[in-house]
Chain A
Amino acid sequence: MKDIVEIRWHGRGGQGAKTASLLLADAAFNTGKYVQGFPEYGPERMGAPITAYNRISSERITVHSNIYEPDYVVVVDETLLSAVNVTAGLKKGGAIVINSHKTPEEVRPLLKGYEGKVCTIDAGKISEEELGKNFPNTPMLAAIVKVSGVVEEQEFIKDMEGSFQHKFASKPQMIDGNMRALKRSMKEVQIG
């Protein structure tokens, strides 16, 4: 498989890292890709570190294993940096996207010498300001799309608008909030 992008998500049980990985799979699927989105299951506990994965390719994917050498890593909860070796196997040419109010330079020393791109996005703040609640999913998803280019940006925005309209048909105020969060995240993600 030459043309394949592999992404690993780190989060805590209940924060929606699995849902985010499924949303990314959806977005990529909607632009015509072959996708996989799957969590690594254990005895689920609220707050325990969890991992989820994406494979995205323009060819059929047959592998059914976890991802050990991802192109990208997304960290939904900054406090995991000290608990989990989030850059394990991460390709040098790839990037890590972290939910943090810090700059990439401030975060890099925590990453055990990782030499690739380090990106930060204050998904918590964006979510609080645009949705009134801490739902870091949407901004994190937007940030990884921006950083990885795994889905074309305009197509992604159009697709997400469609799915928000569907998901929040009875709560239209959520559609605009989510769309603002999405666009802000794509603008505000710091790539270092």
Chain B
Amino acid sequence: MGIRERLSGNEAVAYAMKQINPDVMGAYPITPSTEIPQYFSAYVDNGEVDTEFIAVESEHSAMSTCIGAQAAGARAISATSSCGLCYMTEMLYVAASDRLPITLAVSCRALSGPININNDHSDAMGVRDTGWLMLFAENNQEAYDNYLQAMRIGEAVSLPIMICQDGFITSHAIENIELVETEKVKEFVGKYEPQHFLLKKDEPMSVGAYATSVYYMEAKRQQAQAMIDAKEVIKKVGAEFGKITGRTYGLIETYEMEDAEEAILIIGSSAGTAKEAIQELRAQNKKVGLIKIRSFRPFPSEEIAEALKHVKAFAAMDKDDSFNAHCGPIYAETCAALYAAGIHEPKGINYIYGLGGRDVRVESIQHVFAELEKIVQTGDTGETYRYLEVRE
């Protein structure tokens, strides 16, 4: 049985880092992820871990540090948010294409402007095509659990992995959590033993090659395969984690979906609020359900299509906007998943919601279900690109 504790999401992630005791952390502070390197540097200072903590001058350097360290054969980690993640972007591509399984904790926050420090997913969604694996947490427990699974997943497919949670909403909220004993964590995570690394004495190697057009596309196709392969790995590691903790994870979590006629797809902390909304609606005999996307990269297209195939209407909830005059990324990918699976029956709408920390209440989610009910009754989908609870 785990250890009963109460921690904020940031504390929980820092604690997971401490239990894992990685080799190198390169980090630069930015709200709301600042506490993660702050707590972790205290562990370093107290000698509770033997990690090399490298305080750098920017997020670009933080990720460059991780790339160098991981290529050298070390386990490297960082943490960031918002424009810090943007500033890292160039190096995120390098990390993924050099196939370095770095682990990055992200406490998601809005981007400027207007300047805003609160939560939405604009930062993470902005780097969704960098080739990183991306797991999202609903609460502090999942942020912690996802972090403990991150290295197993990333290292199995040689891809870097982002462990995302909602800035402030979970990163700064104290909630109950069940921690895993450190010995069990160490056994579960295991040692990092790459086949090739820069500091391997008897095998010189090059990292970060130039590839002409003759080779570049093959390199990318191979990288794409790693992302495809990651789907099975995430499920396998999630099942194994369930065996030691009782908390099993997959690519998505379905809630009250068995007979659901109306469903929402959502990522992050608002999934918990949606569960409460669904409980209340179920008490009124409404057939409503939830699909929580845990893994956004790889995108669980088959699983989502399967979960949605019998619903009459769904709303994909995007906590950022693609500003394409059309829809947000979750809606776009969900529709593509349904189309690819040959499923055309469910009517789907998109809600842009919760931007810049706009509070998402139980009533907010119930409003979405009320709109879905209207669509089912009238057969008229209406505008698909909608903003939730914006003042008109």
Contact = CB atoms under 8 A, between A and B. Distances in A.
Given A41-B117, A41-B118, A64 B139 contact: yes
A83 interface: no
A66 interface: yes
Contacts of A66: 359, 361
CB-CB nearest 7 A-B residue pairs: A38-B173, A62-B272, A64-B269, A37-B174, A29-B6, A65-B361, A62-B275
Contacts of A29: 6, 176
Given A26-B6, A29-B6, A35-B6, A61 B174 contact: no
A77 to B, nearest CB: 22
B72 interface: no
Contact of B174 (A1, A22, A42): A22
A151 to B, nearest CB: 14
A182 to B, nearest CB: 21
Contacts, number: 65
Interface string A28-56: 01000011111101110000000000000
Contacts of A42: 117-118
A41 B167 CA distance: 10
Given A1-B276, A41-B168, A43-B117, A63 B174 contact: no
B146 interface: no
Contacts of A38: 168-169, 172-174
B117 A35 contact: no
A25 interface: yes
Interface residues of B, number: 27
A39 B175 contact: no
A41 B172 CA distance: 9
A68 interface: yes
A35 B5 CA distance: 11
A81 B50 CA distance: 51
A39 B272 CA distance: 18
